[in-house]
Structure 1
Amino acid sequence: MEWRRSSTPVPYREALAAQEARNAAVHDGTADELIWLLEHPPVYTAGTSADAADLIDPRFDVVQTGRGGRYTYHGPGMRICYLLLDLGQRGRDVRCFVHGLERWVITTLGDLGVEAWAVPERVGIWTRDVDGREAKIGAIGVRVRRWVSMHGFAVNLDPDLSHFGGIVPCGIAEYGVTSLARLGVRVSGAEWDAALQARAGEFLERLEGKEATCTAG
């Protein structure tokens, strides 16, 4: 397993091409699995269920992707985790994989003092915003090709939240978007990466069937 951390923003198209190449190499057995932590310059990305009506103000580059979901925003202050994992050797259960990602993020946020949860009918990771209402603090979107995963999840450390106004994030207009910084929790990218890696063993064990449950809670 390779862990990679990028300290400067990586252009989205460049990262996507790198994922495509690594996906093929992991499948062929010519490269190790990869967990890649990074950020992007401002960009909107469209998943396979993207609705053109959700693209309100395309002020940044818009990239079509092969991941599931609708429109999302990525930019500085949003820490992303891409996972190139061989699910063929890790249970072949995409549902379990997604629930595992949810639990990994939720547990890591809890370690940093932020209570978060998953909602079955709403994609993403949710918390209570400063006004007491539910708001999204993390997004999940994955693709599995030849039983090797791509894409992953993103968590809002301290992005410019006004940039989300160009889209309906993940097609959910009724709820807002928040960040750790907005909630009064200042966490650097390096601190987040360390907290996430500290919980990685639990996530991987779940994929390998060492826990009986596959739920996010």
Structure 2
Amino acid sequence: MTLVQTLPGDIELRISQTSVPYREALAEMTERNTAIAAGEARELIWFLEHPPVYTAGTSADRHELLDPRFDVVEAGRGGRYTYHGPGQRVVYVLLDLKKRARDARGFVHALEGWVIDTLADFGVEGFRSEGRIGIWTRDVDGREAKIGAIGVRIRKWVTMHGFSVNIHPDLTHFTGIVPCGIEEFGVTSLARLGKDADYASWDRALLARADHFLATLETRCPRETAS
């Protein structure tokens, strides 16, 4: 079952209620990206969950695939290996930056800010870390740990892929890879941090900040070259 709504700006909001296989989602996302670029489809923000899968970005190093116990898929996005699975909220963001500021870095920065601000609603301090991709926080032992992953691709100034946040996944599933190529830090989740959250509460909080996220994309400095 899938819920479909419309966000301001005639952006389609899709919330999948059942798990969507990664390969299926990737094919649909790629097709939609092309259609948006051609002016044949609406922009899309898609909330979903995947069955357990390891995805490889364009910088993935095979030595960081430690135990391929799940399907491994070439994702075509930036970054290295990432895990997706039950208990993790994935959000794909397909927006036409030709309608906004043509700023790839600004887009990623805005995505990060959207997640960080939403984590604050649950009493979790999220932050960026120089030289480390993703969204970070303090784990139960006080050490820095990743709670959210970011990975995007931009084709003809239309974005695809997006971010994932660990709500209540099985964290042992991350041990089959070196997440995003970073060995010295672990991963955590809202559940591990003692936060009572589920997809419904996370989605509501995220959507409450969607207007601010979209407005941020209007204020970045345009770039001169296309991606």
Task: Report how far residue 120 of structure 1 moved.
Answer: 2.1
Alignment of 1:130-145 (within 5 A): 130-145=140-155
Give the TM-score taking structure 1 as reference length: 0.96
1:215 matched residue in structure 2? none
Q: Aligned partners of 2:188 and 2:218: how far apart in 1?
A: 33
1:14 corresponds, among 15, 19, 24, to 24
1:60 matched residue in structure 2? 70
- Percent of counterpart pairs with the same letter? 68
Q: Work out whether 1:74 is the aligned partner of 2:84.
A: yes
Task: Report how far residue 112 of structure 1 moved.
Answer: 1.1
After superposing on structure 2, the runs of 4+ consecutive aligned residues of structure 1 that deviate more than 4 Å are none
2:97 matched residue in structure 1? 87
1:176 matched residue in structure 2? 186
Task: Report how far residue 186 of structure 1 moved.
Answer: 1.8
SS of corresponding position for 1:162: helix
1:147 corresponds, among 153, 157, 174, to 157
Q: In the TM superposition, what whole-angstrom CA distance separates every residue of 1:44-96 from its partner, at most 9, and x where no partner exists?
A: 00000000000000000000011000000000000001001001111110000
Q: Aligned partners of 2:97 and 2:177: how far apart in 1?
A: 32
Q: Aligned partners of 2:183 and 2:81: how far apart in 1?
A: 12
1:118 matched residue in structure 2? 128
SS of corresponding position for 1:154: strand
Q: Aligned partners of 1:92 and 1:60: how far apart in 2?
A: 36
The gaps in structure 2 that reach 5 residues or longer are 1-10, 222-227
CA RMSD across the alignment = 0.9
Q: Work out whether 1:201 is the aligned partner of 2:211.
A: yes
Task: Report how far residue 8 of structure 1 moved.
Answer: 1.1
SS of corresponding position for 1:195: helix
The gaps in structure 1 that reach 5 residues or longer are 213-217
Task: Report how far residue 195 of structure 1 moved.
Answer: 0.6
Give the TM-score taking structure 2 as reference length: 0.92
Q: Aligned partners of 2:76 and 2:130: how far apart in 1?
A: 22
Number of residues of Structure 1 aligned to a counterpart in Structure 2: 211
Q: In the TM superposition, what whole-angstrom CA distance separates every residue of 1:17-37 from its partner, at most 9, and x where no partner exists?
A: 010110011111111100000
Q: Aligned partners of 2:198 and 2:18: how far apart in 1?
A: 13
Q: Aligned partners of 1:75 and 1:65: how far apart in 2?
A: 15
